[in-house]
Structure 1
């Protein structure tokens, strides 16, 4: 009995240590995610590396080097959900602020909207076991419609803090305005926190996806975005803009959540009344009603 008692006590102790270790790991995860908030000078770099087209007239996308100033606002901070809104600063007045992409981080999330192709996302679920200890990064477009999402564990080792995942996504704006020869960008996203900010590396595959799910690799691309932290005062106009406009965008997010909770595939119209969704939402006044927001979003969802 004494031996059994010792084994039982040791097991309880190990469980206790394990639970504590998991709590500490999660705290490190949260710290890494939140460290992406603030004011950043950003360098966007993209280059098409390999092409596999058999067309002798095939032309690669031009190499892209751009810089920008971006404010990343913490808009939701819960134990299992952290939401970061990016605001692009293109000038010196509030009129130059562009509501940019949003990233939500969900702990041990099991519900996913996986990009298929064109304007369709398929709902699917993973088991709790498959996402144990992991964080899902859900990335949204400027109108808060879905873009891409994937799950993985944050890694903290040898003084490094990073997260990596591969998932399918629509064409980025830099591509869909000049390309129509592929319809899926399979992204390997790598986020690493650094001493001066963070890095978003991408190894992307440009894929032609047909109706039956057959994929043809057209080309590959390298992305290297460097976020260098600067004093928050440099992003004051973005902070002021968000204070004035955050209430209407909260209504937009809440309406999208109504859509997501249905747990059904989503297909969106590219245009309604000859306008893309983001233009209609960008035109809303800060005091727009929930009903007005809902009516606009619902008009773009294919029944």
Structure 2
């Protein structure tokens, strides 16, 4: 089972707070927002399904003349996306990778999660290494816009931004504000000269699925200042496909959804109580508690651990390994 996790790690896109420019778009009129609301929801909900996904990453322009650009990297897999919450103004999509081993047995890896919220007042944004803090969405820019918050495999936060759906050239898309992000595992394990990304995120429906564009400026410290190191373009393509063990993902979620709901609720509680999330991370695993949180889900599915005991341990792990943001600089 651990070997499957190592295989999946290759697939997972998995200094003070810095100001980020918001959006070049003007405020949206209330009448326009109301007219577009249902179409926006439909575009978000359409991301749910069964897919063959390809991850294509390419560094292009080097902003630091001393930097050596990496070769393009490609990977892929089978991914199931399910709607696990829909209140009307909030939609939560859970991604799950399905891996088939040499013995033809399927193994499920809980992948990333994306939460979409309509006209939010604030988002939980990446602020600094190991820190995610609450950030206000400018009041004049809330009408008609959606935030997208992306969470890591253990439901800890990764990045968040806000933006609007629009149609350009006959193509629908959602475009984020500029957002800070921690390094993905594929970069973090190499110990590079950069330590974060400044990014724009785009989601676009396609005739046979959807695409996820990312423009990443890889940033690093030089002479005490954050400077751009290299530009990276990421294109993740989701093509409708179900010729794999989709049932394995649905069975996993049926067995573990109560546990993961409690994990999400605990992260949310801590973020509210402590002013955000501050937790140590490791390059190869994400948060220091990620491995155990995922392991317990497997144990729940295998009936080696009761859901109640798993929830109790998860709550303790999250509470004891997170810090209050207001105390960070006095410890």
TM-score range, shorter chain: 0.7 to 0.9
Of the three residues 44, 48, 69, the one matched with 1:33 is: 44
Checking the alignment, whether the CA contact within 8 Å between 2:90 and 2:116 is kept in structure 1 is yes
Checking the alignment, whether the CA contact within 8 Å between 1:94 and 1:241 is kept in structure 2 is no
Unaligned runs of 5+ in 1: 1-17
Match of 1:13 in 2: none
Q: Which of structure 1's runs of 4+ aligned residues deviate more than 3 A?
A: 18-24, 92-95, 156-159, 209-212, 231-234
How many Å apart are 1:217 and its aligned residue?
0.5
How many Å apart are 1:234 and its aligned residue?
4.7
Match of 1:11 in 2: none
What is the root-mean-square deviation of aligned Cα atoms in Å?
Answer: 2.4
Match of 1:143 in 2: 154
Instruction: Name the CA shift for 1:89/1:80 in 2 (closer, same or farther; >3 Å).
Output: same
> Once the two structures are superposed, what CA deviation does each residue of 1:58-112 show, in whole Å capped at 9, x if it has no partner?
4333311112100001000111100000001121677621110000000001112
Deviates more, 1:158-167 or 1:104-113: 158-167
Match of 2:93 in 1: 84
Distance 2:149 2:319 in 1: 21
Distance 2:232 2:138 in 1: 32
How many Å apart are 1:224 and its aligned residue?
1.1
How many Å apart are 1:117 and its aligned residue?
2.6
Match of 2:203 in 1: 191
Checking the alignment, whether the CA contact within 8 Å between 1:38 and 1:229 is kept in structure 2 is yes
Match of 1:268 in 2: 279
Deviates more, 1:121-130 or 1:89-98: 89-98
Distance 1:270 1:121 in 2: 12
Match of 2:164 in 1: 153
Match of 1:53 in 2: 64
Match of 1:14 in 2: none
Of the three residues 296, 318, 327, the one matched with 1:297 is: 318
Deviates more, 1:217-226 or 1:274-283: 274-283
Instruction: Name the CA shift for 1:95/1:277 in 2 (closer, same or farther; >3 Å).
Output: farther
Q: Report the TM-score, using the length of structure 1 for normalisation.
A: 0.85
SS in 2 for 1:154: strand
The answer to whether the aligner puts 1:180 opposite 2:222 as a matched pair is no
How many Å apart are 1:127 and its aligned residue?
4.0
- Report the number of matched residues: 281
Unaligned runs of 5+ in 2: 1-28, 301-306, 325-331
